[in-house]
Amino acid sequence: MSKSADAFRTISEVAEELDLPQHVLRFWETRFNQIKPMKRGGGRRYYRPDDVTLLKGIRFLLYSEGYTIKGVQRILREQGNKFVMAAADGSIDMAALAKDVAQNAAPTVADLGKSGEQPAKTGILSKLVGARSGVTDTDGSTAQGISAGGISDNEKQLLNKTLMELLECKRLLDQAR
């Protein structure tokens, strides 16, 4: 006899459904304040249907999408529980989320040029940004090969694409640590 969809689940039932050991669920309770199963006598845990859906979303982000615990905490803090719960059933476009997170994590070339920030004066990126914002190189000349008028749209797209690839590499390295 199976339980209804609205029934509370024990930790063993949830662990079996998510294909996780029970100790992982207990650990996640310490890392994610949003997971709050009801506790009865003897410390027995009972998970509400929303708790199970949230756990599915967290599992999906950690194991399928490769986010770190800190990354999932950030998503929960910034986007909320319902967002992570929606990730569990696949109704969230994870590629769009990754792009949005990456754009919020580091300024784009266009952002640097508009804000007037002065980048470090080494490397191709600083030369491109320097040419756009009127910053001169260390020898007093403008960056070579770039008109003082700015960066073309194709160059911006290429730089933004490269930045996205670098941020993805950083995420993978952070995950491997």
Show Cβ contacts of residue 33 under 8 Å, excluding neighbours closer than 6 positions.
none
Determine the residue type at 59. Answer: R
Residue 30: domain span: 9-92
Question: Tens digit of pLDDT for each residue in 147-166?
Answer: 445 677 777 777 777 777 77
CA-CA distances (angstroms) from residue 153 to 113, 133, 158? 13, 15, 9
Do 88 and 113 share a domain, yes or no? no
- Count of domains for the chain: 2
- Nearest by Cα to 10 from 28, 42, 41, 37: 37
In a domain, 2, yes or no: no
Do 68 and 124 share a domain, yes or no? no
Question: Tens digit of pLDDT for each residue in 113-151?
Answer: 434 444 333 444 444 444 444 444 444 444 444 444 567
Do 120 and 85 share a domain, yes or no? no
pTM for the full predicted model: 0.54
Please provide residue 36's backbone torsions phi and psi, each rounded to the nearest 5 degrees: -135, 80
CA-CA distances (angstroms) from residue 172 to 28, 33, 162, 167, 169? 22, 26, 15, 9, 5
Of 36, 63, 92, at which residue does a domain stop? 92
In a domain, 45, yes or no: yes
* CATH number of the domain residue 48 falls in: 1.10.1660.10
In a domain, 104, yes or no: no
The Cα 86–Cα 6 span in angstroms is: 18
Question: Tens digit of pLDDT for each residue in 60-72?
Answer: 999 988 899 999 9
Do 76 and 23 share a domain, yes or no? yes
Determine the residue type at 40. Answer: R
Do 62 and 113 share a domain, yes or no? no
Kind and range of the H or E run holding 94: helix 94-105
Do 53 and 86 share a domain, yes or no? yes
